[in-house]
Structure 1
Amino acid sequence: MAYLAPSEFVPKLIEAGESKIMMSTKDTLIRAFMAGAILALAAAFAVTINVQTGQPLAGAVLFPVGFCLLYLLGYDLLTGVFVLAPLAVWAKRPGCTWGGVLRNWGLVFVGNFAGALTTAVMMAIYWTFGFAAEVDPVGQAMAITGEKRTLGYAAYGAAGWLTIFVRAVMCNWMVSTGVVGASMSSTVSGKVIAMWMPIMLFFYMVFEHSIVNMFLFPTGLMLGAKFTIADYLLWNELPVVLGNLVGGLTFTGLMLYSTHYRTSPKRNAAELKIAA
């Protein structure tokens, strides 16, 4: 599998973060657009599987195909750059600043949203014969999901907001681990296996992913779901983006950087012997 140890792949992550910050606006937007579009299509694929088989595990097992494809193609998700871009600043790479990080995050957010929304429109047309027919069972499931994951959280007030935030933290803990997985091997099969496992976990556990939700909720609204854009922003997208940021930045990026790049001096065997 040509496995790379953390001490070997963490520097590659830092180089990737530097590349994201220094990338042109055009390339950043195109790569983010395509990432959002592909991940949205994978979400539609997984929901279709869940509805047609009645087995959520089947959808979770197959959903990572989209994630793996977009990373092998070199596209960018917001949840990924939440981890990669700060690494270049912490490592003091030339030209890498927090202003550059925020610029990258903003552009990737816009690109991801545009891509996910484009797929949402196409899938809504697909499920309704161009809005000329009744919504099919998969479309109905999309609408119900949107209601449960906005109004369902709102029913619990602050506790609901906290719950969705925590689900988002755990989501990008896993998703960003999948991003790291793409650097764990020098072979395509090794990269795919390393990415597949944490992505399958996040999807089956129904954690909250900001880019997947950029597809699910606009689709739900187009298919007649009973919630508003304000409900979506306040009771989903806002806490999910914040949670994804915290989860990826702390549980993945900061931890890998702290122990595999900025390693502390090893304990001295002679001093330990004297102390004993």
Structure 2
Amino acid sequence: MSYVKPAAVLEAMIETGAAKARLSVSQMILRGAMAGAILACATTLAYTAAAQTKLGIAGALVFPAGFVMIVLLGLELVTGSFALIPLAVLEKKTTLAKMAANYAWVMVGHLLGCALYAALYALIATKMGTDTSSPLVQTLIQTSEAKTVAYKQMGGEGMLLVAIKAALCNWMVTLGAVMALTSASATGKMIAMWLPIMTFFAQGFEHAVVNMFVIPAGMMLGANVSFQDWWLWNQLPVLAGNFVGGVLFTGLLFYVAQRGIKPSEERKPAANADAAPAAPAGKSA
């Protein structure tokens, strides 16, 4: 069977986190850039599906395609790593310095990939800057403003709100990364990943990498959002919330729940109660 038991999943999480921390700087940037661009493309796919069907849930149903591509291709998504690398640190398979370096360089890659796709998509959506009537242009502008100035107008409560939405978001996103380890088959991985990613997107939670595309794209298209609005009222609190959600709600809780259990000890089959008792030594049955 392709199902991987939870204790074995925990071991895979730790080893995966350690492997991510060992990547070279160039690998982290390149893999992060590719992942950022793919997730940005999945975001515009979701917006297109919602616009065509007039149903927001349609976007949530197709958005996980981007996450699936990222995981199956072995690319780097910093939000998923928020649940994995800290466990490798706990098990002394890597260091805090290497964890921080991975997060920093992968985010550099995300920003590059998202910015490139945003620029290219803006040209497509506006027909090379000649037409801004597309509903998708307005969606990006409105979403960019809703993710920044709307929180700014709420003040401190807005800052807390965006952080909470980010923590809940990455609880689901990191579950997607972990669920990918619960199957040895590509089909099983895809189905397992799809469920939590669809859940987060459908509820409008805040994801740092998605926002690295949506907010700059909206700014390019004319959203009333400043660089300060972007980073102070969204990007930084969302990164903090994503980290808390990933490391606490998924990484540490799963680690505590499964720690000390060996994969070979999980659900050992009980002796058949209907079987005849074994014959005493030295006597025939």
Shorter-chain TM-score bucket reads over 0.9
Asked whether the 8 Å contact 1:11–1:261 carries over to 2, the reply is no
**SS where residue 155 of structure 1 aligns?**
helix
In structure 1, stretches of 5+ residues that fail to align are: 264-276
Aligned to 1:178: 176
The alpha-carbon deviation at position 261 of structure 1 amounts to: 2.4
Letter paired with 2:244:
V
Aligned to 1:271: none
Instruction: Report the Cα distance in structure 1 between the residues aligned to 2:260 and 2:167, rounded to whole angstroms.
Output: 24
Instruction: Report the Cα distance in structure 1 between the residues aligned to 2:69 and 2:26, rounded to whole angstroms.
Output: 21
Asked whether the 8 Å contact 1:172–1:209 carries over to 2, the reply is yes
1:13 equivalenced with 2:4 (yes/no):
no
Aligned to 2:129: 131
1:79 equivalenced with 2:82 (yes/no):
no
Aligned to 2:50: 50
Instruction: Report the Cα distance in structure 1 between the residues aligned to 2:88 and 2:48, rounded to whole angstroms.
Output: 39
**SS where residue 181 of structure 2 aligns?**
coil
Residue 122 of structure 1 is aligned with which of 120, 123, 132? 120
Instruction: Report the Cα distance in structure 1 between the residues aligned to 2:174 and 2:159, rounded to whole angstroms.
Output: 22
What TM-score, normalized by structure 2, do the two folds share?
0.90
The alpha-carbon deviation at position 130 of structure 1 amounts to: 1.6
Query: Cα RMSD over matched residues?
Result: 1.3
Letter paired with 2:23:
M
Letter paired with 2:87:
L
Instruction: Report the Cα distance in structure 1 between the residues aligned to 2:224 and 2:103, rounded to whole angstroms.
Output: 31
1:66 equivalenced with 2:66 (yes/no):
yes
1:225 equivalenced with 2:223 (yes/no):
yes
CA shift digits 1:119-143 (9 cap, x unpaired): 1111101101221222411111110
Instruction: Report the Cα distance in structure 2 between the residues aligned to 1:205 and 1:262, rounded to whole angstroms.
Output: 35
The alpha-carbon deviation at position 70 of structure 1 amounts to: 1.0
Percent of paired sites with the same residue: 42
The alpha-carbon deviation at position 145 of structure 1 amounts to: 0.8
Aligned to 2:278: none
Residue 191 of structure 2 is aligned with which of 186, 190, 193? 193
Instruction: Report the Cα distance in structure 2 between the residues aligned to 1:9 and 1:211, rounded to whole angstroms.
Output: 25
Asked whether the 8 Å contact 1:165–1:242 carries over to 2, the reply is yes
Q: Which has the larger radius of gyration?
A: 2
Instruction: Report the Cα distance in structure 1 between the residues aligned to 2:115 and 2:260, rounded to whole angstroms.
Output: 40
CA shift digits 1:217-268 (9 cap, x unpaired): 00000111111111111111011000000000000011111121246xxxxx
Moved over 3 A (4+): none
How do 1:1-276 and structure 2 match up within 5 A? 2-93=2-93, 96-262=94-260
